């Protein structure tokens, strides 16, 4: 049987990121981004092998952009799509894994929209457009939150009155589940374990950052909570602050909620601390040049990451290893080294030469002998979405 094709779709409010993934291959066959949708500047950019193309889309909306990219996919593939895998940010408590999309699933994604007001409606737009244009292809939803549904209540409950949880769903959900699941599975393979096995701490460090404790393929705790603002220092997000900060800013500066949300989500994190940039590459350069803010931002980022990882370690019965992933985790030897300075308490010791020599974009081990593994593993959320879509379809076929 030739290997099957999955179209992976990640829809934002004005963009569609897409990739056609072939079963069991590491590179996308075709990938691209339609952005600025709904404006006169809408464009479609796509890459096939080494070739990059760009074309204007007029004022296309999501459905019109999808109507353009589907024939494009048809032109460059030799077989029909086996599935469309949609990334959905928030599944609330409805979903513990991938689901074939039907009216009930659409209603549940809609019902979770108050928890992810920017993301879930955009995800639904993409789902509706794909269902309209590809009515005969099975459509699968993969949720960022689903992997963390295995967390025990003592990890996911806030110390708030019960009604807020029972009636209003206020609890910790966690995000980046697809990435934490993918890299911990890869870690099991890299260290010669049975697929998915092992006791891992995982640090996904991109523009958004989260850490996670995973035991034998199950998330036991993670740093993000009700929303993706909780936890680590991120590019522009503050991560944890005193919850009384809202009241303090309202009382002392007269700030309203939108102003405070803007502060915590868009003006804080690496950007706020450094006063310079949210981009780790730029901050590393500025730190080299003696920029005080950049130095401080990187120190706080690494210390708070280490503190989170050490805290999450209590969820595990032992520690087989720590995984770095995401643009920063995969590429910044400095962040890995500075974070590990604070983690001797877990017996973790980095090998400075292996750490600085690891080629960018490659998986590898950077620990000293005698230490639990310290692994750098490039994440591949699209691969994970494609694999989960196909295995759900196989499972459903076998049941029928």
Q: Which of 22, 221, 284, 387 binds ligand ADP (CB under 6 A)?
A: 284
Strands laid side by side in the 218-222 sheet: 218-222, 209-215, 199-205, 321-325, 373-376, 364-365
* CB nearer to ligand ADP: pick between 68 and 266: 266
Tokens of 159: 């110390």
CB of 234 to ligand ADP, least distance (A): 9
Q: Is 30 annotated as contributing to ligand binding? A: no
- Specify whether the CB–CB gap between 167 and 174 falls below 8 A: no
Q: Which of 279, 303, 346, 364 binds ligand ADP (CB under 6 A)?
A: 279
By the rule CB under 6 A, 328 interacts with ligand ADP: yes
- Span near ligand ADP by CB under 6 A; candidates 55-63, 179-187, 223-231, 321-329: 321-329
Q: Which of 10, 120, 179, 332 binds ligand ADP (CB under 6 A)?
A: 332
Q: Where is 204: in which H helix or E strand?
A: strand 199-205
Tokens of 65: 């952009």
CB of 301 to ligand ADP, least distance (A): 10
Q: What is the pattern of x (binds ligand ADP, CB under 6 A) and - over residues 143-182? A: ----------------------------------------
Q: Which of 96, 207, 227, 265 binds ligand ADP (CB under 6 A)?
A: 207
Cα–Cα distance between 280 and 301 in angstroms, integer?
10
* CB nearer to ligand ADP: pick between 216 and 279: 279
Residues belonging to the active site: 144
Q: Closest Cα to residue 8, out of 177, 130, 175?
A: 130
Per-residue CA distances from 176 to 104, 205, 206, 222, 369 (Å): 24, 10, 10, 10, 30
CB of 334 to ligand ADP, least distance (A): 7
Burial class (CB in 10 A: 0-12, 13-18, 19+), 55: exposed
- Span near ligand ADP by CB under 6 A; candidates 6-14, 96-104, 248-256, 276-284: 276-284
Q: Is 364 annotated as contributing to ligand binding? A: no
* CB nearer to ligand ADP: pick between 279 and 351: 279
* CB nearer to ligand ADP: pick between 92 and 378: 378
* CB nearer to ligand ADP: pick between 115 and 280: 280
By the rule CB under 6 A, 382 interacts with ligand ADP: no
DSSP result, 324-373: EEHHHHHH-HHHHHHHHTT-GGGT--B-HHHHHHSPTT--EE-BPTTSPE
- Span near ligand ADP by CB under 6 A; candidates 24-32, 34-42, 189-197, 320-328: 320-328
By the rule CB under 6 A, 19 interacts with ligand ADP: no
Residue ranges of alpha helices (H) inside the chain are 62-76, 103-111, 120-133, 153-156, 162-166, 177-190, 245-253, 257-266, 269-274, 280-288, 292-312, 326-331, 333-340, 352-357, 381-399
Under DSSP, the state recorded for 82 is S
Q: What is the pattern of x (binds ligand ADP, CB under 6 A) and - over residues 208-247? A: x--------------------------x------------
Buried b / exposed e over 6-21, threshold 16 CB at 10 Å, is bbbbbbbeebbbbbbb
- Span near ligand ADP by CB under 6 A; candidates 79-87, 97-105, 279-287, 291-299: 279-287
Tokens of 147: 């992997």
Q: Which of 203, 264, 280, 393 binds ligand ADP (CB under 6 A)?
A: 280
By the rule CB under 6 A, 32 interacts with ligand ADP: no
Query: Count residues contacting ligand ADP (CB under 6 A)?
Result: 13
Per-residue CA distances from 365 to 186, 190, 322, 342 (Å): 12, 9, 10, 19
Q: Which residue is nearest to ligand ADP (CB)?
A: 327
Q: Closest Cα to residue 340, out of 368, 306, 314?
A: 306
Tokens of 330: 């995969």
Q: Which of 219, 222, 236, 331 binds ligand ADP (CB under 6 A)?
A: 331
Cα–Cα distance between 129 and 67 in angstroms, integer?
8
Binding residues for substrate, as ranges, are 87
Binding residues for ATP, as ranges, are 17, 204-208, 279-281, 327-331
* Residues that bind ligand ADP in the complex, under the rule CB under 6 A: 206-208, 235, 279-281, 284, 326-328, 331-332
């Amino acid at each position: 049987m030739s290997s099957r094709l999955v179209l992976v779709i990640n829809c934002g409010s004005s963009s569609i990121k897409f990739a056609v993934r072939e079963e069991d291959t590491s590179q996308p066959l075709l990938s691209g981004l339609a952005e600025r949708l709904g404006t006169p500047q809408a464009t479609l950019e796509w890459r096939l092998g080494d070739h990059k193309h760009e074309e204007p889309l007029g004022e296309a909306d999501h459905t019109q952009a999808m109507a353009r990219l589907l024939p494009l996919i048809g032109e460059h593939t030799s077989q029909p799509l086996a599935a469309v895998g949609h990334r959905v940010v928030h599944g609330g408590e409805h979903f513990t894994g991938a689901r074939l999309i039907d009216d009930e699933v659409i209603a549940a994604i809609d019902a979770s929209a108050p928890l992810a007001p920017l993301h879930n409606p955009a995800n639904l737009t993409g789902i509706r457009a794909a269902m309209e244009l590809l009515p005969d292809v099975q459509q699968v939803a993969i949720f960022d939150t689903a992997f963390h549904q295995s967390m025990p209540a003592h990890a996911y409950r806030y110390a708030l009155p019960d009604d807020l949880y029972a009636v209003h769903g206020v609890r910790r959900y966690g995000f980046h589940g697809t990435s934490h699941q993918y890299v911990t599975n890869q870690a099991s393979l890299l260290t010669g374990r049975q697929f998915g096995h092992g006791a891992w701490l995982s640090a996904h460090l991109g523009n958004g950052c989260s850490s996670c404790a995973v035991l034998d393929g199950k998330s036991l705790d993670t740093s993000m909570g009700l929303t993706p603002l909780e936890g680590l220092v991120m590019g522009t997000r503050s991560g944890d602050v005193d919850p009384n900060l809202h009241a303090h800013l309202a009382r002392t500066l007269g700030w309203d909620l939108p102003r405070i949300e803007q502060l915590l989500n868009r003006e804080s994190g690496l950007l706020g601390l450094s006063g310079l940039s949210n981009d780790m590459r730029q901050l590393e350069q500025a730190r080299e040049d003696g920029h005080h803010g950049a130095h401080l931002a990187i120190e706080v980022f690494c210390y708070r990451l280490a503190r989170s990882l050490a805290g999450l370690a209590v969820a595990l019965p032992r520690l087989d290893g720590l995984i770095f992933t995401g643009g920063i985790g995969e590429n910044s030897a400095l962040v890995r080294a500075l974070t590990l300075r604070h983690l001797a308490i877990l017996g973790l010791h980095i090998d400075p030469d292996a750490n600085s020599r690891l080629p960018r974009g490659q998986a590898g081990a950077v620990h000293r002998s005698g230490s639990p593994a310290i692994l750098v593993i490039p994440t591949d959320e699209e691969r994970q979405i494609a694999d989960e879509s196909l295995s759900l379809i196989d499972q459903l076929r076998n049941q029928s």
